Amino acid sequence: MLTYIIPFIILILIVVFIHEYGHYYFAKKFGVGVTDFSIGFGKEIFGWNDKSGTRWKICWIPLGGYVKFFGDRNVYSQSDHEEILKKYSEEDQQKLFTLKPLYQRTLIVFGGPLANFLLALVIFFSIYTFVGKDFTPAVINEVQKDSPAMTGGLQVNDVILEIDGNTVQSIMDVSKYITMSTDDFIDFKVKRSYDEFLLKIKPIIALSEDNLGNSVNKRMVGIKLGAYNNEINHVKLGPAQSLLHAANEVYYVSVASLKYIGGMIVGKADTSQLGGPIRIAKISGQVADIGLLAFISMMAYISISLGLVNLFPIPMLDGGHLMFYAFEKVLGRPLSQKTQEGFFRIGLFLLISLMFFTTFNDLKDLGLFK
């Protein structure tokens, strides 16, 4: 269990700290008072106060964190300004989040997800600069008999150029693009001798193993790949190229994840792949056994996921507060406190439902449910 728990805690501590620091940075920039910066929930394990009065602490339940603002009731979008003005002195009012201009509140809330995307960008940039990026063309070495690939017209020695419009830059891209696809057919653009062909392949869903040995339902087309001319092309990139490829990776993962979630909602994507803390802990331990590079790469993908999820327009998440600010911009005033509280109840129900669903998937993944 320790081999799972320790890497999981390290991963969560870093990713959550970066997220909360994004909120903290913009709050301090705009003069908002910060009373608490917590990693984890529940009872405090240890902590300290800085010179500005912020309590930095780590708590027992490492499943998130929060930044608490001066005078805040843990609701970003309060509308009872008259009551607030009566309660605080003019000096203290300068430190109140709810009295800041709309654009400042928006940046403070958006700062958390933004920090997660920047963390992923820095990780990918560092890997491509100091370790390198694979650019080995993907060649089909085998087409399985009666497979979707054979039915769709893929042949041995085809070089895969694109999948669903995404350029295939290396062998590793092929599995990623197939897995993240949600349409009934996958578009393959291949080079055969001197000609290029666009083929539509209808994948099958089969119980298989991922690279870590976990049982998963995978979209499969029935091909085995190899390196073009048996040559591996792994290149360390310059700063400009690394930044470009890092930004492309963050963008692709974000868009593909949103598309996959949309596929889940309409029933086109496998909901069993949606996991929670237990599955993340399990995979964290498995990836940590592979090596530091794999673990850091996983951290980048988890950071993107955390940033994306927090932007969903669900009250209690950052995206929910941003939704309230959009209403405030359109209406010229905040929504009433009663209306906001109604939205928060809906958001709480959705989050609890999602928590139960992901926990069920996690326990099923561990073999506790059939």
- Is 164 a residue whose pLDDT tops 70? yes
- Is 73 a residue whose pLDDT tops 90? no
- Is 365 a residue whose pLDDT tops 70? no
What residue ranges define each of the domains in the chain, with the CATH number in brackets? 2-130+303-365 (no CATH), 133-235 (2.30.42.10)
Measured N-to-C along each axis, helices 102-126 and 292-310 cross at an angle, to the nearest 10 degrees, of: 160
Q: What is the pLDDT of residue 345?
A: 84
- Is 354 a residue whose pLDDT tops 80? no
Task: Give residue-wise pLDDT tens across range 276-313.
Answer: 666 666 677 777 777 888 899 999 999 999 999 999 98
For range 327-333, the mean pLDDT: 89
Q: What is the pLDDT of residue 172?
A: 86
* Mean of per-residue pLDDT scores for the chain: 85
- Is 212 a residue whose pLDDT tops 60? no
Where b means 16+ CB within 10 Å and e means fewer, 160-186 reads bbbbbebebbbbebbbbbbbbbbeeeb
Q: What is the pLDDT of residue 81?
A: 62
This prediction's pTM: 0.86
Q: What is the pLDDT of residue 76?
A: 43
For range 12-17, the mean pLDDT: 93
3-state secondary structure the chain: CHHHHHHHHHHHHHHHHHHHHHHHHHHHHCCCCEEEEEEEEEEEEEEEECCCCCEEEEEEEEEEEEEEECCCCCCCCCCCHHHHHHHCCHHHHCCCHHHCCHHHHHHHHHHHHHHHHHHHHHHHHHHHHHHCEECCCEEEEEECCCCHHHHHCCCCCCEEEEECCEECCCHHHHHHHHHHCCCCCEEEEEEECCEEEEEEECCEEEEEECCCCCEEEEEECCEEEEEHHHCCCEECCCHHHHHHHHHHHHHHHHHHHHHHHHHHHHCCCCHHHCCCHHHHHHHHHHHHHHCHHHHHHHHHHHHHHHHHHHCCCCCCCHHHHHHHHHHHHHHCCCCCHHHHHHHHHHHHHHHHHHHHHHHHHHHHHCCCCC
Task: Give residue-wise pLDDT tens across range 118-155.
Answer: 999 999 999 999 999 999 899 999 999 999 999 999 99
Contact 20, 68 (CB under 8 A): no
- Is 243 a residue whose pLDDT tops 90? yes
20 carries an active-site annotation: yes
**From 20, 44, 209, 341, active-site residue:** 20
Q: What is the pLDDT of residue 17?
A: 96
- Is 35 a residue whose pLDDT tops 60? yes
- Is 369 a residue whose pLDDT tops 50? no
- Is 79 a residue whose pLDDT tops 60? no
Which two structure tokens, joined as six digits, stand for 139? Answer: 């060649």
Contact 339, 158 (CB under 8 A): no
